[in-house]
Structure 1
């Protein structure tokens, strides 16, 4: 039975989440329709553009993404610390970039004369807006609803575009975060849509490879699709050196992460599922994960009934207590990945 979002998301436990939205009936509504032959691949541009438009407004870091033909994967970090540091005016201005807003807030923002009660009402609304700007459900609502409206208008239909509410998975530690990022970036390879990570269109890793090339040839940016141009430089940053722990910085270097994804991608492509050898980079040992378990997780097709929480067993037990539950699903996978 689906759980209320308040029992799946706890910023005290972790700010990192893997989310998935699927098209209704799993149809290729963002790819080539096998029945009609119509190609809707341009909608993947819409989705990527919207993701990074929202990243500029919300206090959310985009760690990884993959926009597939019938579903979207995101790995997000909710930055409550960033949202709390904004002043009231910035919060209101950000919210009004998304919604028309209440007149009392607009009048307060414009500096028009208001009573004390009106000012208090405006500031109370701003407080609500601030909380929404680091809220996972509000981010996904602002992503999915406009895409559904645009697609329905294009098809001249009404009804659902997305299968239902998005699915979320809490990532309780750095190993879980990096493993899910790699899982997301490897989606096109697993689906047989690409042979290498850098050829995997509409993924964060391909974008990062392009960004690294632009450092030496910035003039090539103009040749990129408009939605990709707008996304350049807006992904969460990797650590400049191993072992760095800093807010807003991913816990590994880009070179280490590329090694992990490249090795795993080869394992998938060559059918070496579950095999581990000395060529696997040491990134997993540094993150206190079981390399053989992570490799099996990344190379095997995952069940659609994946656990809502991913992390060490002890972390799962502590989170279950916080939610007032005896246990959380995911102990078997936690044991596989972390021992």
Structure 2
């Protein structure tokens, strides 16, 4: 039975989510079509640039991404507090970057509205504020623009993406770490890249490239702030160097049915999370094999089950 998106995505339960969106047509999103020989590799750039552009508009931080041949992965942080702190003008500016503003709002910005019109404007701005931290709206904006470009290029109409994107709630730090590593290692697991630093159109490559060129302000990704941070909403609660070592270790593990793997060394982050190697490896390998919509400890899964008043919960315990 289909579960309402409002239950699948709830900032009251967790701010972190792993999302996957897949194509429905035979033709690849990217890469090379084996039947026609036509290359769609340039579309991977479309998707990456669109993700980074929308991250500057929405109050949804991008923790990790990977653009594959017929699907893409996103790990996001819903920053509802950031949206709440925006002024009305800032909300209008953000929404106006991607949408044409109605004349009433333009009058509002020029202080040319009546008292009744001001109330109407405030209702509109409140709606936009909510949309700025809506995961469904982010995915809608992302998928619509890519589908439009691809359909124009293919000279056809119809659906380009599956009707609903898949989302998994990441209930704790272990789940977040596993989802990010799983996402960043997708090209390695698929055998199209030998190492994370050569995995084109992934967040880990972008982080490493930015680190090497000292262009941190241009990163446009949710930063790593370390576990000592008092405000975890300001960044990912790990150190970047630990995450890089962690991805190396996970990537070294050989998975059945997956041709790709990398060399690595043991990461110190496992000790801080009180997770042993095999438990962490199990979580990364089972992330998409099972029908799990919520990922976290047994205790956290039980809390979510009670919050949602559900008899059963399709979750993965870690």
SS of alignment partner, residue 254 of structure 2 = helix
- 1:179 Cα deviation after fit: 1.0
SS of alignment partner, residue 119 of structure 2 = helix
Tell me the equivalent position of 2:306: 321
- 1:327 Cα deviation after fit: 2.5
Encode CA deviations 1:234-277: one digit per residue, 9 max, x unaligned.
111112x553342221111011101110111122389999xxxx
Q: Which runs of 5+ in 2 are unaligned?
A: none
SS of alignment partner, residue 206 of structure 1 = helix
Tell me the equivalent position of 1:224: none
Encode CA deviations 1:61-100: one digit per residue, 9 max, x unaligned.
1100001111010000011111111100110111111111
Tell me the equivalent position of 1:87: 87
Q: Which runs of 5+ in 1 are unaligned?
A: 219-228
Tell me the equivalent position of 1:251: 237
Tell me the equivalent position of 1:179: 178
Does the aligned pair in 2 maintain the 1:238–1:251 contact within 8 Å?
Answer: yes
The within-5 A match list for 1:111-122 is 111=111, 113-122=112-121
SS of alignment partner, residue 10 of structure 1 = coil
Encode CA deviations 1:145-176: one digit per residue, 9 max, x unaligned.
01101110111100011122111110011111
Does the aligned pair in 1 maintain the 2:245–2:265 contact within 8 Å?
Answer: no
> Number of paired residues?
313
- The RMSD of aligned alpha carbons is 2.3
Q: 1:280 aligns with which of 231, 241, 266?
A: 266
Residues 116 and 281 of structure 1: CA distance in aligned 2, closer, same or farther (over 3 Å): same
In 1, the alpha carbon distance for the partners of 2:256 and 2:266 equals: 15
Residues 300 and 13 of structure 1: CA distance in aligned 2, closer, same or farther (over 3 Å): closer
Tell me the equivalent position of 1:191: 190
Encode CA deviations 1:103-151: one digit per residue, 9 max, x unaligned.
222221233x222111100110000000000010011111110110111
Does the aligned pair in 2 maintain the 1:317–1:327 contact within 8 Å?
Answer: no
In 1, the alpha carbon distance for the partners of 2:73 and 2:191 equals: 17
- 1:291 Cα deviation after fit: 2.8
TM-score (normalised: structure 2): 0.92
The within-5 A match list for 1:35-114 is 35-111=35-111, 113-114=112-113
Residues 307 and 38 of structure 1: CA distance in aligned 2, closer, same or farther (over 3 Å): same
The within-5 A match list for 1:127-146 is 127-146=126-145
Does the aligned pair in 2 maintain the 1:190–1:301 contact within 8 Å?
Answer: no
- 1:290 Cα deviation after fit: 4.1
Residues 190 and 300 of structure 1: CA distance in aligned 2, closer, same or farther (over 3 Å): farther
- 1:25 Cα deviation after fit: 4.3
Encode CA deviations 1:4-51: one digit per residue, 9 max, x unaligned.
100101111111010000011464222211111110111111111111
Give yes or no for the alignment of 1:151 onto 2:150.
yes
In 1, the alpha carbon distance for the partners of 2:65 and 2:146 equals: 16
